[in-house]
Amino acid sequence: MKISSGSSLEIVEIYNKLDNELKILNPGCDTCGTCCHFDVFDHELYASTIEVNYILENVKVPPFHKEQRICPFLVDKECSIREHRTLGCRVFFCNPHYKNVSYEIYNKYYEMIKKIAVGNRFEWHYGPMITLLALQNKKEPDDVNHCSPETVSNEIEKPVKQRRYPGR
Ligand code: SF4
Ligand code: SF4
């Protein structure tokens, strides 16, 4: 399950780059936490294995059920893992004017993250964050999952919308 510290640094760099790009776009957010209630927004938060493992290596995961529709990291309407939250969390803003741009940005950074996983032959799955969290959380801490590049690329799903928006 572990990802190397070098890869963690690469993920941090990607997240920082993304956050800087978003600062310029400034879609606006009052951090109300409503979008972390997935049913309220009728959307799904998708993430990759490498991002979920990065969370698991850095924070304690609270008890959760894999079918729950509120992110387990939402505490008192605030994200308790802000520094380690996934690409999908970072890119999403409820501002409707920003929606189309968000897909482009998401796919650009998704490709960067995928490149780290493929380059390091890390296990790669892409799916609902809570499902992946439940799967990865069960593994032993030293259970390193390396795949051949072929296996990795076969397992890669096409980049899809990071979250399903109302009405889509
Ligand atoms: S993106 Fe919108 S719904 Fe989500 S926390 Fe910010 S203001 Fe609230
Ligand atoms: S990780 Fe944080 S930002 Fe992402 S859905 Fe959970 S509470 Fe919200």
Whether ligand 1 lies within 6 angstroms of the CB of 35 is answered as yes
Residues 11 and 51: beta-carbon distance below 8 Å: yes
Q: Which residue from 83, 92, 87 is spatially nearest to 129, judged by alpha carbons?
A: 87
The band of 163, judged by pLDDT with boundaries at 50, 70 and 90, is low
How many whole angstroms separate alpha carbon 140 and alpha carbon 39?
A: 31
At residue 31, the pLDDT reads 93
Strand blocks (E) in 61-162: 74-75, 78-79, 126-128
For the CA of 82, the nearest ligand: 2
Which residues, in sequence order, are CB contacts of 97 under 8 Å at separation 6+?
27
For the CA of 35, the nearest ligand: 1
Type of residue at 162: Q
Whether ligand 1 lies within 6 angstroms of the CB of 45 is answered as no
In tens, the pLDDT along 21-72 reads 999 999 999 999 999 999 998 899 999 999 999 999 999 999 999 899 999 9
For the CA of 71, the nearest ligand: 2
DSSP state, residue 44 = -
Mean pLDDT to the nearest integer, 15-25: 97
Residues with CB under 6 A from ligand 2: 36, 45, 71, 73-74, 79, 81, 85, 89
Q: How far is the CA of 95 from the centre of ligand 1 (A)?
A: 8
Whether ligand 1 lies within 6 angstroms of the CB of 93 is answered as yes
| Ranges of each domain in the chain | 5-155
Question: What is the number of the ligand 2 atom nearest to the C-alpha of 89?
Answer: 4
- Residue predicted with more confidence, 149 or 65: 65
Mean pLDDT to the nearest integer, 124-147: 75
> Whole-prediction pTM value?
0.86
